[in-house]
Structure 1
């Protein structure tokens, strides 16, 4: 079992529930050591006195606030002494509808568990009450010399704690983004086509179908460099769509996103549109050709037609493998 990162008392009203807090997520980032180029020598960071150049032991380090003409020295224990609730109280001050908490406020997620079997009933009662009401408890607490604003909510049969940003930590986008346009003029045709594209590309939320393809490529790069092989570079990003080509880009996107069955049932929309689609189909490689000769965009189109899940996050190699698997399954079903 994982070790808790914090333990204390969750309270609301006169009800007190001792809880333990556990990290809910983990990073799968590939970690590198720093080396001096041309050697296998590790490069390490040290705590060094900038005046003497001597390394300073951790127990001799204190915090100092720069007051301009001098430093105000603060001992770690002094911060603990002034922490609200002495860092052990998680007091819910009120409950809000979850919809009222905008996504930008959410930071990190933790699991809350009862601190002992004897608190299981109180824990279950709080979880069910919040689940049935759709409310989140808003509270503050101190951990590691930082005070956090948090939302406690019921989620999948347990209580979760989400740290929130303080209101003054949310930046004003109008000040941060210099080129943010005012209300841009959008035609009804453009809006309708864009809405149609969104609807056509709508999917069910299945997070397990998405994976970090960049980290997979990093792992492949490491293995290739270890064995002396080469790794194919990623394709350059697509060129920006200008205003002149916007409608045509939207129309082509909708047409590509639709399945062949939908396209066969769609009425012809004019000679120009029909000719454009015929030209596109004539340029498409035959089914018998190797997937290896296709670009990533063409592979993605094939994956869309085949209904392959998670295709939007796949690398070129992943798309080829998924398409070959789909072709093999179709042949097996036909035999």
Structure 2
């Protein structure tokens, strides 16, 4: 079991429940060490005085707040750690929900880190579950502030299946204005009703049920393959260039082609599901086997990412260095060897 990183009381109105806070996210990022090129010597960061070039001990470092915009000639107000500690807010023992908001009204940009909230004992399970159920049924979040590790947070308490989660949020003045940040945002664009209708049809054709297990970090897999390839002294794969931007003149044509393609994929999935759902019927009447399609023909209908996934499933060696044609060739040979066996 994971250790709680904070414990206290969660309250709404006069209802309270003792809770503990747990980290909900695990970092699976590949971490590298810094080495001097051509050696196995570790490189470490040091705190160095910019003027003298000499290393400074940690206990001899103070914090300085610059006065003015010019960093080089700035004057500083020096603030000691003890002074910051004296004004830092104490650890909160209470997450007091001050109000409930509709989740659809909160822009995603406000949400930051996610934590699990759990009841601190079986005797508190009913009150805990009451709040979770009410939040789930109303699609609302409880807004509260609390202090952890000498920092005050704005938070949202919301429901997930079987558990309450607490999400830290950004304060309003931390959110940048998109019109001041992003150049070239369209102010007014003429869209025909037909274009919008086709875009909606395309989205309907690509609609899927949310299943997070269907998605994985393929970049981390490629990093692992890169490390292994370099260890074996093999060549490194080169990523494909991204597709070109859609020409506005061809927008309707591209939308229609996308709709047709989405329909073919959806039809294939439906046929597959029907076949799986009626095994007894298949046993009763075996159709005469027709000519099997060539493996290459089927594979050419797949994207490179889909080809790579298949190659990963069957363990095609050197797949990370292959382009699309090489993946098709390797998968075709693997299929033929499997049939021959």
TM-score, normalised to structure 2, is 0.74
Of the three residues 303, 309, 314, the one matched with 1:318 is 309
Tell me whether 1:56 sits opposite 2:39 in the alignment: no
Which residue does 1:35 correspond to in 2? 35
Which residue does 1:65 correspond to in 2? 65
Tell me whether 1:216 sits opposite 2:217 in the alignment: no
Tell me how far 1:33 sits from its aligned partner: 0.8
8 Å contact from structure 1 (residues 63, 74) kept in 2:
yes
Instruction: Count how many residue pairs are aligned between Structure 1 and Structure 2.
Output: 290
Instruction: Classify 1:146/1:174 alpha carbon distance in 2 versus 1 (closer, same or farther; 3 Å).
Output: same
CA distance in 2, matches of 1:18, 1:232: 53
Instruction: Classify 1:287/1:217 alpha carbon distance in 2 versus 1 (closer, same or farther; 3 Å).
Output: farther
Instruction: Classify 1:218/1:86 alpha carbon distance in 2 versus 1 (closer, same or farther; 3 Å).
Output: closer
Which residue does 2:288 correspond to in 1? none
Which residue does 1:139 correspond to in 2? 144
The CA deviation string for residues 289-312 of structure 1, in whole angstroms up to 9 with x for no partner, is 437984xxx413xxxxxxxxxx9x
Instruction: Classify 1:240/1:181 alpha carbon distance in 2 versus 1 (closer, same or farther; 3 Å).
Output: same
Tell me whether 1:253 sits opposite 2:258 in the alignment: yes
1:167-316 alignment runs, 5 A limit? 167-259=172-264, 287-290=293-296, 294=300, 298-300=301-303, 314=305, 316=307
The CA deviation string for residues 75-95 of structure 1, in whole angstroms up to 9 with x for no partner, is 2x5545444454333221112
The alignment's C-alpha RMSD in Å is 3.2
CA distance in 2, matches of 1:91, 1:203: 38
- Structure 1: give runs of 5+ residues left out of the alignment: 264-285, 301-310
Instruction: Classify 1:152/1:261 alpha carbon distance in 2 versus 1 (closer, same or farther; 3 Å).
Output: closer
CA distance in 2, matches of 1:105, 1:38: 45
SS at structure 1 position matched to 2:302: helix
- Structure 2: give runs of 5+ residues left out of the alignment: 69-74, 269-291, 314-327
Tell me how far 1:172 sits from its aligned partner: 1.7
SS at structure 2 position matched to 1:192: helix
CA distance in 2, matches of 1:260, 1:65: 59
Tell me whether 1:21 sits opposite 2:21 in the alignment: yes
Instruction: Classify 1:40/1:195 alpha carbon distance in 2 versus 1 (closer, same or farther; 3 Å).
Output: same
